[in-house]
Structure 1
Amino acid sequence: MRVLVLTVVHDPEDARIRHRQIAALRDAGHHVTLAAPFTAYGRPLPDDLDAIDIPRSQGRHRFAASRAARQLLKRRGRHFDVVLMHDPELVLATVGLTIPGLVWDVHEDTAAALQMKPWLPKVGRPAGTMLIRAIERSAERRMPLILAEESYAARFRKPHTVVRNSVAIPDDISVPVTDRVIYLGRLTAARGALELLELGRRLAPDVEVHLVGTADADCRRAIEAAQATGAVRWHGFVPNDEALAMLPGALAGLSLLHEQPNYAHSRPTKIVEYMAHGLPVVTTPNPASSELVMRHRCGSVVPFGDVDAAEAAVRRLRDDPAEHRRMADAGRKAVAAHYSWDADADLFVHSLERMAHATSP
């Protein structure tokens, strides 16, 4: 197949897009072109993949990106067997275009996510929610969907293929455990950045807190200040493979998300990555997160905003190597049994092949 993977929202290095889906398609022998906001994210165009640089859709500045995506699809959309789109605004951008092979990969509950966006006034959020739900209904009528979570199915009338945010399992994680904990992913206040900084202050100098990921404006200055005092070690953006290589040997992987509707039913991929790499998890009690950790007994669940409890959980792991090993082994076994990308990769590729065949002349 010839596949165009298109996003105006996500980082071109997004793990689901770049390092799982595109890798699986290429491993299966398909030709992939990635159109994404490389320049806007400060990412170089890859030299091992056909790539197209387009504007980024961000905050209230979304029109230019949607227009560029629509122009791209007008010019080249019919050259591909599948156009795999990753953002709801791209569904709008395709209205009125006759392009076979359109597929929408639904990453999140965008309507719930809108309730957290500071750029959208509260008075406009109900209308935004209505618009997103209308886009979802329109997409369901016009194209196949792929869902990243089983829980998303309730938003749609028909059954759709679920390709989960599962992960690859490293073969060897046999490194010594060191006195450090790690957070992997985008840093925002709602994702617990300020609690992570306070945790770093309390654990220093006994345990280092490492933060790996880009930081939003709502917490960047606080992170820089904490870095300057030695409370945390902030690595900024790190390419996916290098970031995952930093996980083995940590005392714990941290996920201190706040209580928000958008986090309630989405399983954070970072938690599954921690488990795959032998890290016990310390998480707040969002239902999808706590259910995962409690079912497999691979970490601790701490109350929202409770840095005392997070600190105690980390110190217990430091003081009890046997419990650390038990949780690490439990997490690895759970991922191998239930959350491995190996099975989901085949499902993903075969689903796109079937969708391409259904729309071919």
Structure 2
Amino acid sequence: MVSPRRILVVTVVHHPDDARIRHRQVASLLEAGWEVTLAAPFGGHGVERPVGVPGLRTVDVTRSTGRRRMAAQRDARRVLRELGPRHDVVLLHDPELVPTTLGISLPVTVWDVHEDTRAVVALRSWVPDRLRGPLASVASALERSAERRMVLILADEEYADRFAREHLVVPNTTPVPADPPPAGTPDEQGRLRVVYLGSLARERGVAELVAVGEQLHRRTGGRAVLEVVGPAHGAAVTAQLEAARQQGHLEWTGFLPAREALGRLDGALAGLSLLHDVANFRPSMPTKVVEYIAHAVPVVTTPLPRAVDLVERSAAGVVVPFHDVEQTVETLLAWVEDPATAAALGREGHALAARELDWGVHSRAFVAAMDRLADAPR
């Protein structure tokens, strides 16, 4: 009997229930018969480790956050040293894990490049201004080092220009439901829901979301509500959202597991992506936009190039200027008065998502790549 292939998946930054890691990659590997060890900061995020999942073993590691990162790196290095050699492949999901592998005898090691490592330095509020330039240079050096020593997979084809060689692109697509409910379906209270799904930070448009929520609530008399789903980053952002929630201007759930979060999209009137014009966002496809159209929800997005391309090709929404709360609200109010138009836009987006963006298709390339790596000579 052939032994199952085994993979060690490690993150010290991401939530253990991260959609890309847990619900796309790990789930696909388990379905393909792999044995998966998931090392993630369960305790640091306050979640229980899953039990009873066939083929899945979990390990709790220290969470890396803000300036408190060295303990997490030491813990990850311990896990890699102890568990890595027992697996056929090691899959890393954080750039800071790249240097932790130095000097450790490991099987083939893969780094999943989630974002523009250099550009993201500018978004970290905990990085002092005087260190942003030097740390950006360190990030570039880290990418060059990783390409020499590891196999890379890229979350977006736009990242390819940063590397010397060609690498597999595993895009942030999503499972596409076959027949989602139409956009603009009232909830149990008879309200129309506008949804934001994703992490929350200043550069992700939190101030605009709060303003949109207030105007939507006031101008519809509560007939439409903004529902915000996702974790907040930073005390100031948390305070903004909590104040708006207490005033009744929006509903904020905080983090939800991926399946529950995606379930909140079904029947929504619209999905918002009000990201700012920052370097890390320009080359990337916002995952939330993909998830909205996959669930037949029309999109209101700022004019980041990849989002514009998807919305225009799919005819699934509206592009508004950066920071333009008024135009965003006017678009939503038009759909509040005419939900059938929102539903028609949602159907257009869903059709494109089913053709091009279904994780059920892209997952096959990912699993096949891991199979090849597991079978390669060490």
Determine if the TM-score, normalized by the shorter chain, exceeds 0.5: yes
Any gaps of 5 or more consecutive residues in structure 1? none
How far, CA to CA, are the matches of 2:42 and 2:377 in structure 1? 30
SS at match of 1:60: coil
Bigger mean CA offset, 65-74 vs 319-328: 319-328
Structure 1 residue 215 corresponds to structure 2 residue 232: yes
Bigger mean CA offset, 2-11 vs 56-65: 56-65
SS at match of 2:227: strand
How far, CA to CA, are the matches of 2:172 and 2:24 in structure 1? 9
Using the TM superposition, give the Cα deviation of residue 97 of structure 1 relative to its aligned residue in structure 2, in angstroms: 1.7
Using the TM superposition, give the Cα deviation of residue 325 of structure 1 relative to its aligned residue in structure 2, in angstroms: 2.4
Partner of 1:306: 324
Matching residue within 67, 70, 83 for 1:60: 67
Say whether the 8 Å CA contact 2:299–2:317 is kept in structure 1. yes
Matching residue within 68, 82, 91 for 2:89: 82
Partner of 2:49: 45
Partner of 1:269: 287
Say whether the 8 Å CA contact 1:280–1:299 is kept in structure 2. yes
How far, CA to CA, are the matches of 2:11 and 2:299 in structure 1? 31
Structure 1 residue 106 corresponds to structure 2 residue 113: yes
Partner of 2:189: none
Structure 1 residue 168 corresponds to structure 2 residue 179: no
Structure 1 residue 139 corresponds to structure 2 residue 152: no
Matching residue within 190, 203, 225 for 1:190: 203
Letter in 2 for 1:6: V
Structure 1 residue 358 corresponds to structure 2 residue 376: yes
- Residues 141-181 of structure 1, C-alpha deviation per residue, up to 9 Å, x if partnerless? 11111000000000000000001101101123236623110
Letter in 2 for 1:171: A
- Residues 293-344 of structure 1, C-alpha deviation per residue, up to 9 Å, x if partnerless? 1221111111111100110111122223342122111110111111110111
How far, CA to CA, are the matches of 2:36 and 2:283 in structure 1? 31
How far, CA to CA, are the matches of 2:24 and 2:375 in structure 1? 22
Say whether the 8 Å CA contact 1:144–1:355 is kept in structure 2. no
Matching residue within 34, 38, 62 for 1:30: 34
Using the TM superposition, give the Cα deviation of residue 206 of structure 1 relative to its aligned residue in structure 2, in angstroms: 3.3
CA RMSD across the alignment: 1.2
Say whether the 8 Å CA contact 1:276–1:335 is kept in structure 2. yes
Bigger mean CA offset, 144-153 vs 214-223: 214-223
Partner of 1:243: 261
How far, CA to CA, are the matches of 2:275 and 2:320 in structure 1? 11
TM-score between both structures, scaled by the size of structure 1: 0.97
SS at match of 2:242: helix
Partner of 1:336: 354
SS at match of 1:166: coil
How far, CA to CA, are the matches of 1:321 and 1:223 in structure 2? 27
Say whether the 8 Å CA contact 2:181–2:296 is kept in structure 1. no
Bigger mean CA offset, 66-75 vs 11-20: 66-75
- Residues 193-231 of structure 1, C-alpha deviation per residue, up to 9 Å, x if partnerless? 111111011011231000111112231111111111110
TM-score between both structures, scaled by the size of structure 2: 0.93
Bigger mean CA offset, 165-174 vs 267-276: 165-174
Using the TM superposition, give the Cα deviation of residue 291 of structure 1 relative to its aligned residue in structure 2, in angstroms: 1.7
SS at match of 2:173: coil
Letter in 2 for 1:209: L
- 1:359–1:317 CA distance, 2 compared to 1 (3 A): farther
SS at match of 1:40: helix
Letter in 2 for 1:30: W
What fraction of aligned residue pairs are identical, expressed as a percent?
47
Any gaps of 5 or more consecutive residues in structure 2? 187-191
How far, CA to CA, are the matches of 2:377 and 2:254 in structure 1? 42
How far, CA to CA, are the matches of 2:95 and 2:263 in structure 1? 32
